[in-house]
Chain A
C-alpha cells in the first residue's frame, strides 16, 4: 500500500518493507527522488499523555519508519506540551511563537481548548509557515461545511478523525439496543460537563436510543474521564438504579470503573442474555483484555492505529507530494466485543510492537 493509493485501510506493516509497501521499484525510485532526502520536522501535541495517544503515536512512528525505509525521508518528531492550557496562563500566541521559532513544518494537534482559541493558533501558524493538522478532534461540533468554502472555515490543512456523534456515540447506543433487543434501562457515566467530546457523543448516543421506544436513559453522573471517579459515580447510580441493564461509559476508563462497580455490587456482567452490559469508547489495549475477560462487554474502538497511520500518510501526501488532501478525513471505527476482540487486540498489539521509534 503506497502513499499514492488512497485506500490502505487495515494494512499491517511488520518491518519487512518491500514492494507491497513501497510500490514498484520505479514508483519507489521516483518518490525517493521527490523526497530528495528531506527532513520533515513534525510536532505532536495530544491533550494529555495517555494510553490512547501513545497508541496513535506509535502507529504513526511505524508508518514513518516505513516511509523512511521506502523513500529515504528523514523525520524530526517532537512531542509538545498539551495546548489545553491555552486558556490558563500558557497562551495561544506564545505556543504559536514556539512552533514558528522552532521551524516546524507541521504540527498535529488534538486539544480540549475552545475551538475559537485553536482557530487563532492555526491562523497565526499558517501565516508563519507552520501547517496544522487536527486529529481526533471535535470539529464537527461547529458543523463546518465545505459547500461554499474549501476549508470549511478551518485554518487547518486537514482534520483526521472520526465523527464523535455517529461513529462513536451512535454506534454505542445501537449496540446496546440491539443486544438488549430494543428494551432496557441505561445509566451513563459522562465526562466533565462542557467537554466537546461529551456533547457530541451524547448527541449520537441519545439519537440511537430514541430510535428504540423501549430503551430509556434513567440516570447519569460525572465521572471526570478517570477511573476512580467513574467507579464512584457508577456505584452511586447502581445504588439508585440497581436494575439497570446497561452502563454507557463515555470513555473506556470510566466504563472500566463502572465494570469494577458491578463486581463490587455483586451484580453480574453481561453474558449475552442477562447481566449488565458495559460499553466504553477508545479502543485501548488494556480495555481489550477486559473485554476478553468479560469484565467490559464492549467498547467503541476509534481506531488509534489507523488514525496514526493516516495522519502520517496525509502529511506525506501534502508536504512532500504536494497533493490536496481532504479537509475532513474520517477513519473507520468499530464496536469491539468478545466476537471480534481477537483481531482488534492483535492489531493494536502488533502496532505497539512495530519497529517505528522517533
Chain B
C-alpha cells in the first residue's frame, strides 16, 4: 500500500526528495510527501522522527539540503516564509510562536495586516477591519473581543494555542499545516478545531496534520504518512488501518510491548495511597485567581486537578512552588510549614514542577541537554558539592536518555536543537532528578509520542508506588483519570468538587461514570 490511492485528485502539495542534515544529526533523508486537494493528511512518527523539520521546510523557514517543494505542480521558490504564505500555505508551528509584546489581534494578522490608505499608501493598519474579520472565528475558540486587544504575554499556554489556531485559519489558506495543534487543548476546543478542519476539507483545502493522539485520526484523517528516524516508512489510507498497525510502523514493534503494557497499570490501580499526609495546603488565596483552596496530598498519592481553561489549576500549583506570592494561606510539607518565598526554597524543601509551557518556562535553549537535566539539582553531579563533573553530568543525562528514550545525537548538544517531544522528556527528567517528595506535573505529556507517553506514565506511577506524591494537571480527562487516585475539580479559582477512589472505580468498569462526573463538575460547579 505504497501510494495514497484513496486520493484521486492530483497532488496540491508535494515534497520531493527532501534531505536535511543538522549539526550532528540527519533530520530528513530523501523524504517524499504528496497531499491532494481536500485531503487531511496525517504525519505520524515518534519524537524526533523529522515531522516538524519537514513542516518547517514546507513553510519556507528552513532550507533543505536537497529536494524541492511543489505547489500545484510548480516548484515553490525557496525564498523564506513570506513566499510560502503568499502561495497560500498557513502553518501552526509546534512551539508557541506568538510575539509577546503584541496584542492577540496584531499577532493573528502579523505579516498579513489589513491596511488602509494614508497619503495614498497602504501604511496604516486597519485594526477595526481586522477585528471584524476574525471576531466570529475567535469567539468559536473562546477569545473575546477584549482579549483580542490584550497583549499575548498575559495569556496562558492554552489561550495562546487558541490564538495560533485562529491565526492559521483566518486567511483561507490553500494548504493548512498543523503541527500538534491539539497539544494541551481542552476537549471542547479540540472538537471545534476538528469541525473547522472538516469544513476546510469540504472546501478543498489540503491539510497536513501532525498528532501523537492516534485515536483522533479515525473519522478525520484521510491518509497517514509515517516517519521513522528521518525516513518515510509508509503512507496508508486511514480507513484501512488500525492504531496498532500505525504504532507498529512508527516504532517497529507492537503496542503491547511498550512500558510493560497493562501490567504496570494494573499494579498501579491496586496500590492505594498511603495514609500519611505529605502536603497540606490550607485556604490558599491569591487575588481573585486562587480562592480559598485547601488540599491534602498523601504519601504515594497522585492527586489530579481538573477544570476548564482558566479554572486556576496552574495558578494553584504556581503558588505552591513559590512562583507567585500568596495573598493568604498556609502550606505544610511533611508537617513543616513551608515559606513560599521562592522557587529555590520550594525545590530545596522537596517540591518540583514540570511547567506547562516548555518553550517559555521550560527549556534553557542555549544550554546542553545534560545541563538542562542537572540544573535543578547540580549537587548530584558535583564533586564535594561544588566541582561539577562533566562525566557525572553526562552519565546522569544518559541514564534518563535511555529511560525516557530521549532522541539526541549527544546529550551535550543544545537542547534547543531537540525535537519538541524530546525537549519535554528532558524537562520531566529534570524534575525526577531532584528526587522530590512532591512532584507537580502541569501537562506532562504534551508533545510526547505514544511510546514515550507510556514510559512517562509508567514513571509517574512508579514514582508514586515508591512513596512519592504528585499533583497532576492534564487537560485530557482520560489521562488524568488513568493516573490519579483522586481528582479535585476547580472552577474560577475555587475547589468545586472532589472525586475519590478512582482506581477502584476504573477497576469496577465505571470509567465513563467518573469521567462524566468530573466533566459535569468542571462545567457546572460553583458560581461564575
Question: Direct A–B touching in the complex (beta carbon < 8 Å)?
Answer: no
Query: Which residues of chain A have a CB within 8 Å of any CB of chain B?
Result: none
